[in-house]
Amino acid sequence: MHRLVPVLALLCCVTAPGAQAHEWPFGGGQGPTAHRLDLWNLGVLGAKAWDADKALPAAPRSGRRSSNAAPAGGSDAGPARLRLEALYPDGPAAKAGLAVGDVIVGVGRSPFKEGALGPLAEALRKAEAKKGELVLLVLQGGTGERVKVTVQIPVGGKPFAKPTQGEARTRLVEAALAWLAKRQGANGGYAQTSSGVNGAVVQTSLAGLAWIAGGSTLTSGAYKDNLARAAAFVRDNVGQRLSMGGAGGGANWNQTNWGVAHAAIFLGELHAHGPDPTLKRALLDLGTSLAERQEETGGWAHGPGGPNALGYVELNIVSGLALCGMGLAGQAGYKLNGAVLDLAETYLQRSSNGDGGVGYSHKAGQRGQGNIGRSAGCWLGYETLGRGKSAWGQKMKKWTARNVANVLGGHASLMQHILLAGVAAHALGSKARKAYWAQCERDLLLARAPDGSFQPRPWRETISGGSNADVGFGEIWTTAAWTIVLACEPEKAGRPGLPYWMGRARASK
């Protein structure tokens, strides 16, 4: 039995009787204070869903981080029953007659058993590579009879049997680059979400890195004008203090180290692909700023100013980004301070248990808990700094290679770990790259949306902790991060990738 429900072009989603409609993509509007839902994206179906056996989370869950560590263990198979909460306007799911409130319980003839994520991603991959026809088992309105609904998705052809390779990867990158370009603001940046203008600098820097990896520079390529405007926005706005989610009462909510570090990585890679005096001046300032922002311990915090409102200072995900930024600034001519780098190394070693995995910080309860985002970021920093062959650089490299697929062992922003692990995996070579995609291809397939963007997803920490920083940052953040991972590896006679951030090349000063 197939069901067809008329699609109203003026609505953002189709609503089943008794179900609440939520706007695409996050449910409650687009502003930085809007109620944003942390939902599973269902790939190119153009639908988002929540666990049908759980109530939707309350408004405070999206955007603000409240959990300190990902729960140990647990499965990442996802719910076995997916209740639709939002539909992409006129997308494949809506065209097939699926409605908000419907519950997907299986694909083809097979109900989901332990979880929906793996089987659905595999069904999407096969459908796109072949006839574009996907049959879903659906409970109408969540409680009705189980029916088969056939969804037609665009046919990509045989290349999409291997979506992270060759022609399929190229097409994913091209669609995402175009999507990012369409949403770039007149000022060269993006609309502010979490962390205000500082967050906009981070997102603009990541979009810029994606355009560079895709083959554009300030003087050539389809996105040279976008890059010029992005670079100008970053130079004009980097370092502006605007708090992340709730300043007040004299608390230190300075988040600017994120923007300064990302700006240095972006502008450093851009300068390396085509030296520019304006970029060089900016990079000299950024390198100096990052060195000055180092804490007395040797690490880096969200921003300068002492303990933040949660009572802590250093966190080594920022330390890794700061090292990357200083390394790329150094390649543009910034004179690296050996004392700063030596102190940073001592601090990272204090944060580790000695195996090369970088802990959250040097403090008790945070020391020795290495994860892939922190460790990959710090190792990439050592590569950009020219310290990759040092004893500590080699330890971090080996740890990163062993753990490159463990993106779910991270904390706070899953996309931060997907991004840094992905860049590191491609820098490490084919063995690490294969291990990374063996874990992450499923999430790439499910993150895709019909318009070429990539969408965030819930994971263990956001489900238990009640917030998702990736949802707070929004579509630009997730789309740019996935695009960088897909495009960062240089190709012979193809995309240039990001060889300077990856340590594959060093720029002439």
Give the pLDDT score at 30: 55
Q: Are 76 and 459 in contact (CB under 8 A)?
A: yes
Q: At what angle do helices 256-273 and 196-213 cross, to 10 degrees?
A: 20
264-to-238, 251, 278, 445 alpha-carbon distances in Å: 10, 27, 13, 31
Tens digits of pLDDT across the chain (509 residues): 333 332 222 223 334 444 676 899 998 655 555 678 999 999 999 999 999 999 887 654 444 433 333 334 457 999 999 999 999 999 999 999 999 999 999 999 999 998 999 999 999 999 999 999 999 999 999 987 899 999 999 999 999 999 999 999 999 999 999 999 999 999 999 998 888 899 999 999 999 999 999 999 999 999 999 999 999 999 999 988 654 444 444 678 888 999 999 999 999 999 999 999 999 999 999 999 999 999 999 999 999 989 988 888 999 999 999 999 999 999 999 999 999 999 999 999 999 999 999 999 998 888 888 999 999 999 999 999 999 999 999 999 999 999 999 999 988 899 999 999 999 999 999 999 999 999 999 999 999 999 999 999 999 888 887 789 999 999 999 999 999 999 999 998 889 999 999 999 998 76
**Whole-angstrom Cα distance, residue 396 to residue 319?**
14
Give the pLDDT score at 482: 98
pLDDT tens for each residue of 47-74:
999 999 998 876 544 444 333 333 344 5
Instruction: Check if CATH label 2.60.40.2470 holds for domain 40-158.
Output: no
Give the pLDDT score at 11: 28
pTM for this prediction:
0.93
Unique residue bearing structure tokens 């955007």: 63
Give the pLDDT score at 33: 52
**Whole-angstrom Cα distance, residue 383 to residue 378?**
9
**Whole-angstrom Cα distance, residue 472 to residue 456?**
10
CB within 8 Å of 100: residues ≥ 6 apart? 13, 14, 15, 16, 19, 20, 21, 22, 84, 85, 86, 87
Q: Three-class SS string for 318-339?
A: HHHHHHHHHHHHHHCCCCCCHH
The torsion angle over the Cα atoms of residues 44, 45, 47 and 50, rounded to 10 degrees, is -100
Long-range contacts, stretch 163-168, CB < 8 angstroms, 24+ apart: 163/125, 163/128, 163/441, 163/444, 163/445, 164/437, 164/441, 164/444, 164/486
Give the pLDDT score at 92: 98
Tokens of 378: 């710090």
Question: Could you tell me which of 487, 450, 453 has the C-alpha nearest to residue 183?
Answer: 453
Question: What's the start-to-end Cα distance of the chain, in Å?
Answer: 67
Give the pLDDT score at 463: 87
pLDDT tens for each residue of 140-189:
999 878 999 999 999 999 999 999 999 999 999 999 999 999 999 999 99
Q: Where are the domains positioned within the chain? A: 40-158
